[in-house]
Structure 1
């Protein structure tokens, strides 16, 4: 009986949520940031918040950026992710303060790198990004933003000006207790390789992309 209680005691003391692990200066081509690393005990992911300047608690300029190896590292034009990350980092530096929360485990809207590549192969055959995920038996969007809200709370943030075109990010933050004072558009000029993808995000996933109107019938 004592052994069982001991096992139960260990289980009950298991950590959960995001734990701050490290804080280090990170000079970048966009400006100077503090890279604050977190361990998400619930999912096992390592997360990082890039903080520029002296942030307050209210109306902090924030980007929740979903990990995208192909866009962020390889410069893929299949999506606009890499350009959005660069634009967000420039924006917080121009603002004088702000946060970019880089969310690992969000690759391919949460389905993982290999599944994303498989979905891209189906898109090359004519499916759109929604149809491709469903054809693989995967959710259209499997991302969770609970850890992002935990990180923002740890940084003392209560309300944000959220750089995003995705209304679901706003809804998720509010649901997790972070107020969104403003949704700031993060619009990237489309190219031939991503216009279909962007149209699908607007038409089937409710992303706010008014700049596509100018090219809606021209590509």
Structure 2
């Protein structure tokens, strides 16, 4: 059976939504179900958890052994390199936004992270010096608000992308939180229900 555009336009909105849901369920495939991807996912999880376990005693060790004062070489090159990385992140994000590319979300998250790091190191490394008040003001007025703006904008873009995909898949109601949506699919594999939604309780 074939439908023309006119046939689809004559459908009720609920009928079009049901058709889109049925097509989405047929087309949705979860790449993580691929055996090769499952192996990589398990390896990534193991590596991430292992890094967390290793970092806890390492942080305790550093807190107990690092000196309160330390003279570092290449101070100028370190901060210049960091600012160059921040400039590259800002410029790349701006270009991605101008081009309306999804990679802008990555750029925003990277930029916000670098801004928070910049504020942290500026404040902590100037502690007790004449530059400390200026570092605090710069962090509170400039770096941290800008970082929050970039993070908020990235979150909004992700939410908008999910919202549009949700609608175009024929799903109804309010989409779930980002923390509950599966990677790559809005339909739970083999369950035929929206990702992140618990099944309706049976009467």
Same fold per superposition (TM over 0.5): no
The structure with the greater share of residues assigned to strand is 1
Question: Higher relative contact order at CA 8 Å, sep ≥6: structure 1 or structure 2?
Answer: 2
TM-score (norm 2): 0.25
The structure with the greater share of residues assigned to helix is 2
